């Protein structure tokens, strides 16, 4: 097995077995894990406390039954799964769960958590251009920090926070580099591997993830770039999984050359910058700098233009919109983006992501026809 294959295999294992990653961390450090609900949370605080931040992004193929008692059938697919898993006690090993509530579904879910872990809820201000928004978010972060310290029984110092911010910034920079490398080497990094590298960072200490991805990049860059005879796409949406769906991309030689997925590149888009005001203020300012996301209000609606620019920069043939079933914020952005794609002559395809289904034949047919049309 080559070193590239070995690193990918390790990251795929982590991505596929989050519970094992958490148990290993607990055995190694004697500390626990804190759940991070989508989409954005001050994860650096959890890291600074010495706990493992664990992303909570639902599960694929579970039949929804218990969650129906608490959520209407038209709540988004991912939160139906999260509620189902809560009811089954899947998150009860977490020392706490941090909730941001940028959409109505997350607001509801934060108020009816059925697990036993303590829940810490905070709000992102949506009028993000104002300095008052930064101050508001600092206050929210101070409350999150105080609750974390109380629940975990630790003190989170500014020095520890600064160290964690530097580790997270480095991880985001390395992942942005990885996105470019994956675009240049689709024969080496296929859709499944690309997703695994992103997903593993949800369940690993970022410094360990960074070291592996850096080594992966160095190994791949030592190889010659080969011409790609398939199609290239930019993908957008909340998330694009499971592997059975991504296998269809591989089958029809559709390379993912960039993404705007909430689970992937939106997590690495914005760094916490150096500057005045202390770590919490700088973390708050990162929210002000966020762009191109359905959860971060943008009255100018720049997401469509951002995606069109990505297709130009990467030479992509098209944009694939992975629409999370019943996700209101994504559904509201879509008509605006679609009109812009049409006006600029950018081909696009919308596929629905439903975490309850386990058959992807319909998506397979649509992707096959799309590739033929391209
Ligand atoms: S952003 Fe969309 S997918 Fe995420 S919780 Fe809200 S409605 Fe669901």
Mean pLDDT of 157-177: 98
CA angle (61, 62, 66) in 5-degree steps: 155
In sign, the C-alpha dihedral spanning 123, 77, 291, 268 is positive
| CA-nearest residue, atom 7 of ligand 1 | 327
**Among the atoms of ligand 1, which is closest to the Cα of residue 39?**
4
- pLDDT, mean of residues 132-136: 97
| Most confidently predicted of 49-53, 86-90, 104-108 | 49-53
So what's the pLDDT on residue 73?
A: 87
Distance of CA 309 from the midpoint of ligand 1 (Å): 25
The predicted pLDDT at position 112 comes to: 87
pTM, two decimal places: 0.96
Distance 95 CA to ligand 1 centre (A): 24
Q: Is the pLDDT of residue 268 over 90?
A: yes
In eight-state DSSP terms, residue 266 is: G
**Candidate from 31-40, 193-202, 351-360 with smallest mean pLDDT:** 351-360
CA atoms within 13 A on the CB side of 40: 28
Tell me which of 157 and 115 has the higher pLDDT: 157
> 103 vs 226, 297, 331, CA distance in Å?
43, 11, 12
Using pLDDT thresholds of 50, 70 and 90, give the confidence band for residue 274. very high
Looking at per-residue pLDDT, the higher value among 159 and 61 belongs to 159
Distance 103 CA to ligand 1 centre (A): 6
- Reported as a pLDDT band with limits 50, 70 and 90, residue 61 is confident
Q: Can you tell me the distance from the alpha carbon of 323 to that of 90, in angstroms, rounded to the nearest whole number?
A: 26
DSSP run (H or E) holding 254? strand 254-261
6 pLDDT above the threshold of 90:
yes
Q: Which atom of ligand 1 is nearest to the CA of 324?
A: 3
**Any idea what DSSP says for residue 90?**
T
- Between the CA of 102 and the centroid of ligand 1 the distance, in Å, is 8
Q: How far is the CA of 241 from the centre of ligand 1 (A)?
A: 15
The whole-angstrom separation of Cα 160 and Cα 367 is 47
Q: Choose the residue to mutate in 103, 107, 237, 294 for probing ligand 1, maximizing ligand atoms within 8 Å of C-beta.
A: 103
* Substitution candidate for ligand 1 out of 329, 352, 353 with most atoms within 8 A of CB: 329
Mean pLDDT of the chain: 96
pLDDT confidence band for 357 (50 / 70 / 90): confident
Closest protein CA for atom 2 of ligand 1 = 327
Distance CA 279, CA 32 (A): 24
What is the crossing angle of helices 3-16 and 206-221, to 10°?
150
For position 60, what pLDDT does the model report? 84
pLDDT of residue 228: 97
- % of the chain beyond a pLDDT of 70: 100
Residue with tokens 């991504």: 246
48, HSE (Cβ side, Cα atoms, 13 Å): 22
Which among 36, 108, 111, 238 is the best mutation to test ligand 1's pocket, defined by most ligand atoms within 8 Å of the CB?
Answer: 238
Exposure string (b/e) for 14-39, b if CB count within 10 Å is 16 or more? bbeebeebbeebbeeeeebbbbbbbb
Atom of ligand 1 nearest to the CA of 238: 3
Measuring from each residue's beta carbon to the nearest atom of ligand 1, which residues come in under 6 Å? 38, 76, 78-79, 103, 105-106, 238, 295, 324, 327-330
> pLDDT over 90 for what percent of the chain?
94
Q: Tell me, in angstroms, the distance from the centre of ligand 1 to residue 275's CA.
A: 32
Ligand 1 centroid to residue 369 C-alpha, Å: 29
Between the CA of 187 and the centroid of ligand 1 the distance, in Å, is: 33
- Residue 251 CA neighbour count, 13 Å, CB half: 13
* CA 216–ligand 1 middle distance (angstroms): 32
Tens digit of each residue's pLDDT (9 = 90 or more) over 252-265: 999 999 999 999 99
Alpha-carbon gap, residue 118 to 350, rounded angstroms: 37
- Residue 113 main-chain phi, psi, to 5 deg: -65, 130
The CA distance from 144 to 251, in Å, is 45
pLDDT band of 359, cuts 50, 70, 90: confident
pLDDT for res 1? 84
Question: What do you get for the CA distance between the two ends of the chain, in Å?
Answer: 36
CA angle 160, 165, 168 (to 5 degrees): 125
Tens of pLDDT, residues 186-234: 999 999 999 999 999 999 999 999 999 999 999 999 999 999 999 999 9
Residue-level pLDDT at 207: 98
């Amino acid at each position: 097995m080559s070193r590239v294959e070995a690193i990918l295999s390790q990251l795929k294992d982590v991505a596929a077995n989050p519970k094992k990653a958490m148990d290993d961390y607990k055995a190694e450090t004697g500390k626990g894990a804190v759940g991070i609900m989508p989409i954005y949370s001050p994860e650096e605080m959890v890291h600074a406390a010495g706990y493992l931040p664990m992303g909570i992004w639902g599960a694929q193929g579970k039949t929804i039954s218990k969650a129906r008692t608490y959520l209407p059938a038209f709540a988004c697919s991912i939160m139906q799964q999260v509620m189902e898993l809560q009811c089954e006690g899947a998150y009860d090993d977490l020392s706490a769960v941090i909730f941001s509530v940028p959409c109505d579904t997350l607001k509801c879910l934060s108020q009816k958590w059925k697990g036993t872990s303590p829940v810490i809820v905070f709000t992102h201000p949506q009028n993000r251009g104002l300095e008052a928004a930064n101050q508001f978010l600092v206050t929210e972060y101070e409350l999150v920090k105080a609750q974390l310290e109380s629940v975990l029984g630790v003190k989170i110092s500014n020095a520890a926070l600064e160290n964690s911010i530097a580790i997270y910034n480095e991880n985001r920079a390395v992942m942005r580099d990885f996105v470019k490398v994956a675009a240049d080497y689709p024969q080496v990094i296929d859709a499944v591997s690309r997703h695994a590298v992103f997903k593993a960072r949800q369940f690993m200490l970022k410094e360990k993830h960074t070291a592996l991805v850096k080594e992966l990049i160095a190994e791949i860059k030592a190889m010659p770039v080969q011409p790609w005879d398939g199609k290239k796409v930019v993908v957008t949406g909340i998330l694009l999984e499971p592997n059975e769906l991504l296998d269809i991309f591989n089958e029809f030689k559709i390379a993912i050359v960039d993404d705007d997925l909430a689970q992937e590149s939106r997590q690495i888009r914005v760094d916490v910058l150096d500057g005045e005001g202390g770590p919490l203020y700088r973390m708050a300012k990162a929210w002000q700098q966020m762009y191109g996301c359905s959860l971060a209000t943008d009255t100018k609606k720049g997401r469509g233009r951002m995606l069109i620019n990505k297709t130009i920069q990467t030479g992509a043939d098209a944009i694939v919109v992975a629409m999370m079933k019943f996700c209101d914020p994504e559904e509201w952005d879509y008509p605006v983006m679609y009109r812009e794609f049409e006006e600029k002559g950018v081909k696009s395809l919308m596929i629905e992501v439903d975490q309850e289904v386990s058959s992807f034949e319909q998506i397979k047919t649509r992707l096959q026809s799309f590739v033929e049309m391209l």
